[in-house]
Each structure stands twice: as structure tokens, then as C-alpha cells.
């Protein structure tokens, strides 16, 4: 490994960007550590009496509009990134196959078989071993066994001549292994980034094969309540286990009310032969009954209690702002967003309401997303001005892919809210 040492200590400056060009593998989010040390701030605004939730945790379509979600900037960007990654992976796979064929002509079928089986291990085994070090080690050993490599060269070239034979140097192997690991990590590109959204079903659409064992999440792409459950599904990496079924709320199919959900609203989850509704109930249900990162503290009584208080308060928050759009919106916004700013000061081990990303953040973000663009456009009101905690929260949550792919075009949101709240005055 002298050549490798020379790379580290002497010289060739190569930026090892294992994650710069290709997305990394697997479900992207670890479970939060809910037992980290934290500080309590006693000046949190007390939670007010819960407003009756009733049907407020679902969309019924009376004041809803169908908003296109297929060509949003985030979706286009995600498709382009996935296409670029797929092309790069295909190129490297073809190169590996060609190299294997060359090994076969040069050293026989046995060597070629060893090389191809090793490549298969690199490309498909990464998800099982889940760690870059194993992939790098396997790749290095594989290439070393299939290529003439100098054992004594300690320079900064890719090839050298020894005993009249042109040999690869450890530097070349190192660079090749890094590229292979980059591709291997890209093979398991997270599903939520390139999920093709199914078309919306309306009154002319036939029902899916209901209650056949498939878990289905009935949503509407523009409904903030459905967005909560959609985000939860994505964050827990359940795209392959929970199928999206979008419903047109303006022209909904009769079979949805008759055979699926008598409430005739979204979201609704078809699971284990039954259908469950109400968004806050559903995000808790999915978190408790499906695999993936935990989204609510179970062993931290203080965080659990505060999380429940914030989940209770969310209807007061949304109701106050919705009502204010026909009155004093700025006053209501000051009060409600100050409340959130204070709530975000409770725990200091992360930017989110409970320190780590949780169901509380999921419950609030679909509405804050809408209020932020509407208040800014119509009332010239910046919800983050003078609220550094809220600004940091909003910035961080907009980095989460599980949420980003569910967002709606801001211009369409503003147009919808103007029509709903301003034109009816």
C-alpha cells in the first residue's frame, strides 16, 4: 500500500467526492435520538384550549381546487438528477462489462468470471453491507486481482513500467475504486426522489382492486392534510409499501365514498382490510405501525408531552390564521408565529420543535408553507422576520426531500388562496 500512502502524504490533490455527483443510497433518514440532553425554557407560551377538530384534519373539496403537481420545479429537478445518475451508472456498468470481457480474452474465463462476480458484489452488495468501507475494500481487492499492479511504486502516476511490463499503480486503483463506490451508492438512489406520481382519479376512473392486501394512501395533491401523511410515508421510506391513490375532490369518483371511505374526504389509508381517516391520526398510525425512522419520542416524557401539546394546538394555529384573512391578518400572524418562535426555543439540540424532526414538524409545515407565500404576496408580511428560530426551522425543513417532493407551486397556492379568501369578501 505504499502508493496509497504517497497519495495521502505526498501529493496528488484529488477531491474525493463520493456524494457530489451521484445521490447516496438507501432510506435517507436515521431515527432521531430522543434522549439527548436538552435545556428547558420556562417562558414558552402556554397552550390554549383545543378547538374542536372534527373534520378539520381532512380535505372535503368544497373549497379545494385541483393544482397541477406533475411539472413543479422540484419534480423536474428530481427527474433530471435521476436521469443523469442513471446514465452515469449505465456507463460504468458497460465499462465494467467491457473490462471483464477483456480480462477473459487475456487471462481466461476463470479470471473473467471472478471479475464479473466481484463487480456484481460491488453493485448489488452495497445495500446489504450498507457501509462505504466494505465497498472500497472489496473493489480494491477485486481490481488488484484482475490487473497488473506495481507493488513498489511510490510516485504520482497512474501507470509505470517494471521489468518491461506496463503496470497500474496503486494511485490508479484508488481513483478507480472511488469511482466504483460512487456508482454503487447511486444504484440504490432513494425512491422518493424519482417516484412517478400516479394520475388523479375522477368520476370517470375505475377503482383500484380494493382490499386486495395492498396498502393505499388516498390523497389529493393540493390538500395540506393529505400532505402531512404523504410526507410521513416518504420520510419513513414506505414508497414501495404504501401506494398513492390521488383523488379529484372536485369530480370525485362515486366508488370512493361507497366502497372506500364513507366520509368521502382525504386523506384515508387502506390497510389490513380497513380504512382509517383524519390526518393527525394517520401520521401517528403510520409512525407506529410501519418500519422506518421513529417520528415521535416514546422514552422522553417531556418531549412527548410537549409534542402532544403542539399537535393539539395546530388546529388553533391554522384556524386563527384562516379566519384572519378576512380581517386583521397581520395581528393574527404576529400572535401565531410568535407562539411558534417561542415553541422552537424549548429544545436546543436541533432546529425542529422537538429538537429532531418529528410528527410535530410534519403537522405544521403544509400550512406554514401556504401561509408563508400568501402572507408575503398579499400582505407583504415575512413570517421569519425577527424570528431566527422559525427562520432556521423553515430553512432546514426545506432541505428534507421527503417534504420537498410534496410541495405545490407557490404561484398556484397564492392564486388559490386569493380566490378563496379575497374574492369572496
Say which CATH number the domain at 248 has.
Answer: 3.40.30.10
> What's the length of the chain?
425
Cβ count near 315 (within 10 Å)? 18
pTM score of the predicted model: 0.65
pLDDT > 50? residue 11:
no
Confidence of residue 39 (pLDDT cuts 50, 70, 90): very low
One domain, residues 171 and 314: no
One domain, residues 174 and 206: no
Q: What is the pLDDT of residue 268?
A: 98
- Quote the CA–CA distance of 53 and 312 in Å, as a whole number: 9
Question: Does residue 227 lie in a domain region?
Answer: yes
DSSP single-letter state for residue 277: E
Mean pLDDT over residues 277-289, rounded?
Answer: 98
Task: Output 398 or 71, whichever has higher pLDDT.
Answer: 398
- Residue 270's Cβ-side half-sphere holds a number of Cα atoms within 13 Å equal to 21
Task: Name the nearest CA neighbour of 175 among 127, 153, 143.
Answer: 143
Question: Does residue 40 lie in a domain region?
Answer: no
Question: Does residue 72 lie in a domain region?
Answer: no
Domain final residue, candidates 132, 157, 192: 192
Mean pLDDT over residues 403-412, rounded?
Answer: 95
Confidence of residue 26 (pLDDT cuts 50, 70, 90): very low
Task: Pick the range with the lowest mean pLDDT from 34-48, 184-198, 267-281, 334-348.
Answer: 34-48
Task: Pick the range with the lowest mean pLDDT from 93-107, 242-256, 381-395.
Answer: 93-107
Residues 6+ apart with CB under 8 A from 355: 32, 34, 36, 38, 303, 347, 348, 349
Q: What are phi and psi of 43, to 5 degrees?
A: -95, 20
Query: What's the farthest any 2 CA atoms get from each other in the chain?
Result: 90
Task: Pick the range with the lowest mean pLDDT from 167-181, 204-218, 272-286, 336-350.
Answer: 167-181
Question: Does residue 375 lie in a domain region?
Answer: yes
Q: Please, what's the b/e burial string for 69-105 (b: 16 or more CB within 10 A of its CB; e: otherwise)?
A: beebebbeebeebbeebeebbeebeeebeebbeebbe
Mean pLDDT over residues 217-222, rounded?
Answer: 97
Q: Please, what's the b/e burial string for 35-55 (b: 16 or more CB within 10 A of its CB; e: otherwise)?
A: eeebeeeeeeeeeeeebebee
Mean pLDDT over residues 259-266, rounded?
Answer: 97
Question: Does residue 42 lie in a domain region?
Answer: no
One domain, residues 201 and 177: no
Task: Output 425 or 285, whichever has higher pLDDT.
Answer: 285
Question: Does residue 70 lie in a domain region?
Answer: no
Confidence of residue 98 (pLDDT cuts 50, 70, 90): confident
One domain, residues 343 and 296: yes
Mean pLDDT over residues 282-289, rounded?
Answer: 98
* pLDDT single digits (tens) 324-370: 998 999 999 999 999 999 999 999 999 999 999 999 999 999 999 99
Answer left, alpha or beta for residue 272, where phi above 0 means left and psi between -120 and 50 means alpha: left
pLDDT > 50? residue 51:
no
234 and 406 Cβ atoms separated by less than 8 Å: yes
Q: What is the pLDDT of residue 105?
A: 76
Radius of gyration of the chain (CA): 27
Most confidently modeled of 12-26, 107-121, 316-330? 316-330
Q: What is the pLDDT of residue 52?
A: 39
Domain final residue, candidates 163, 192, 221: 192
Strand pairing partners for 360?
none
- Quote the CA–CA distance of 220 and 249 in Å, as a whole number: 7
Task: Output 367 or 80, whichever has higher pLDDT.
Answer: 367
Mean pLDDT over residues 147-168, rounded?
Answer: 65
One domain, residues 166 and 269: no
Collapsing DSSP states into helix, strand and coil, what is residue 24?
coil
Mean pLDDT, the chain, rounded, equals 78
- Residue 197's Cβ-side half-sphere holds a number of Cα atoms within 13 Å equal to 25
Q: What is the pLDDT of residue 360?
A: 99
Question: Does residue 61 lie in a domain region?
Answer: no
One domain, residues 184 and 203: no
Q: What is the pLDDT of residue 57?
A: 74
Residue indicated by cell numbers 445495500: 127
Question: Does residue 272 lie in a domain region?
Answer: yes
Burial of 222 (0-12, 13-18, 19+ CB in 10 A): buried
Confidence of residue 44 (pLDDT cuts 50, 70, 90): very low
56 and 315 Cβ atoms separated by less than 8 Å: yes
Pairing of strands 243-246, 165-168: unpaired
- Quote the CA–CA distance of 399 and 1 in Å, as a whole number: 40
One domain, residues 136 and 218: no
Q: How far apart are the first and last CA of the chain?
A: 76
Range of the domain at 154: 2-23+79-192
One domain, residues 138 and 224: no
One domain, residues 282 and 169: no
Give the torsion through C-alpha atoms of 267, 368, 363, 243, to 10 deg: 40
Write out the H or E segment, with its range, that includes residue 217.
Answer: strand 216-219
Domain final residue, candidates 143, 170, 192: 192
Cis bond leading into 267, ω under 30°?
A: yes
- Quote the CA–CA distance of 339 and 363 in Å, as a whole number: 15
One domain, residues 260 and 358: yes
One domain, residues 257 and 168: no
- Quote the CA–CA distance of 226 and 52 in Å, as a whole number: 19
Q: What is the pLDDT of residue 36?
A: 44
Q: What is the pLDDT of residue 422?
A: 86
Mean pLDDT over residues 231-243, rounded?
Answer: 97
196 and 70 Cβ atoms separated by less than 8 Å: no
Please tell me the total count of domains within the chain.
2
Confidence of residue 195 (pLDDT cuts 50, 70, 90): confident
Q: What is the pLDDT of residue 131?
A: 46
Task: Output 55 or 99, whichever has higher pLDDT.
Answer: 99
Confidence of residue 59 (pLDDT cuts 50, 70, 90): confident
DSSP single-letter state for residue 241: T
293 and 31 Cβ atoms separated by less than 8 Å: yes
One domain, residues 166 and 207: no
Task: Output 183 or 178, whichever has higher pLDDT.
Answer: 178
Report the percentage of the chain scoring pLDDT > 90: 52
Confidence of residue 2 (pLDDT cuts 50, 70, 90): very low
Report the percentage of the chain scoring pLDDT > 70: 59
Amino acid at each position: 500500500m505504499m502508493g496509497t500512502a504517497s497519495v495521502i502524504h505526498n501529493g496528488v490533490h484529488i477531491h474525493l467526492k463520493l456524494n457530489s455527483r451521484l445521490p447516496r443510497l438507501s432510506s435517507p433518514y436515521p431515527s432521531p435520538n430522543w434522549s439527548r440532553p436538552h435545556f428547558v425554557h420556562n417562558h414558552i407560551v402556554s397552550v390554549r384550549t383545543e378547538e374542536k377538530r372534527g373534520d378539520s384534519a381532512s380535505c372535503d373539496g368544497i373549497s379545494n381546487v385541483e393544482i397541477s403537481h406533475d411539472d413543479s420545479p422540484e419534480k423536474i429537478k428530481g427527474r433530471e438528477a435521476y436521469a443523469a445518475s442513471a446514465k452515469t451508472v449505465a456507463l460504468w456498468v458497460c465499462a465494467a462489462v467491457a473490462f471483464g470481457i477483456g480480462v477473459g480474452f487475456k487471462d481466461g474465463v476463470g479470471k473473467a468470471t471472478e471479475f464479473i462476480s466481484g463487480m456484481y458484489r460491488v453493485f448489488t452488495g452495497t445495500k446489504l453491507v450498507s457501509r462505504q468501507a466494505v465497498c472500497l475494500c472489496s473493489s480494491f481487492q477485486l481490481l488488484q486481482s484482475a490487473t497488473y499492479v506495481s507493488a513498489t511504486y511510490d510516485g504520482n502516476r497512474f501507470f509505470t513500467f517494471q521489468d518491461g511490463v506496463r503496470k497500474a499503480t496503486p494511485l490508479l486503483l484508488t481513483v478507480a475504486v472511488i469511482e466504483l463506490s460512487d456508482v454503487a451508492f447511486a444504484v440504490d438512489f432513494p425512491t422518493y426522489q424519482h417516484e412517478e406520481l400516479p394520475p388523479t382519479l375522477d368520476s370517470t376512473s375505475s377503482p383500484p382492486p380494493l382490499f386486495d392486501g395492498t396498502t393505499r394512501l388516498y390523497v389529493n395533491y393540493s390538500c395540506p392534510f393529505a400532505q402531512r401523511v404523504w410526507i410521513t410515508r416518504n420520510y419513513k421510506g414506505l414508497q414501495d409499501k404504501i401506494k398513492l391513490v390521488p383523488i379529484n375532490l372536485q369530480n370525485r369518483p362515486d366508488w370512493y365514498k361507497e366502497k372506500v371511505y364513507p366520509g368521502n374526504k382525504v386523506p384515508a389509508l387502506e390497510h389490513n382490510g380497513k380504512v382509517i381517516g383524519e390526518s393527525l391520526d394517520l401520521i401517528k398510525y403510520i409512525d407506529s405501525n410501519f418500519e422506518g425512522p421513529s417520528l415521535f419520542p416514546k422514552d422522553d416524557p417531556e418531549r412527548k408531552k410537549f409534542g402532544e401539546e403542539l399537535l393539539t394546538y395546530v388546529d388553533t394555529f391554522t384556524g386563527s390564521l384562516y379566519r384572519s384573512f378576512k380581517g386583521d391578518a397581520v395581528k393574527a400572524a404576529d400572535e401565531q408565529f410568535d407562539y411558534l418562535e417561542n415553541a422552537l426555543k424549548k429544545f436546543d439540540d436541533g432546529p425542529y420543535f422537538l429538537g429532531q424532526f418529528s410528527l410535530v414538524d410534519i403537522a405544521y409545515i403544509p400550512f406554514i408553507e401556504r401561509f408563508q407565500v400568501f402572507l408575503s404576496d398579499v400582505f407583504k408580511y415575512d413570517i421569519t422576520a425577527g424570528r431566527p428560530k422559525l427562520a432556521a426551522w423553515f430553512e432546514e425543513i426545506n432541505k428534507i426531500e421527503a417534504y420537498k417532493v410534496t410541495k405545490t407551486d407557490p404561484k398556484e397556492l397564492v392564486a388559490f388562496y386569493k380566490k378563496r379568501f379575497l374574492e369572496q369578501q
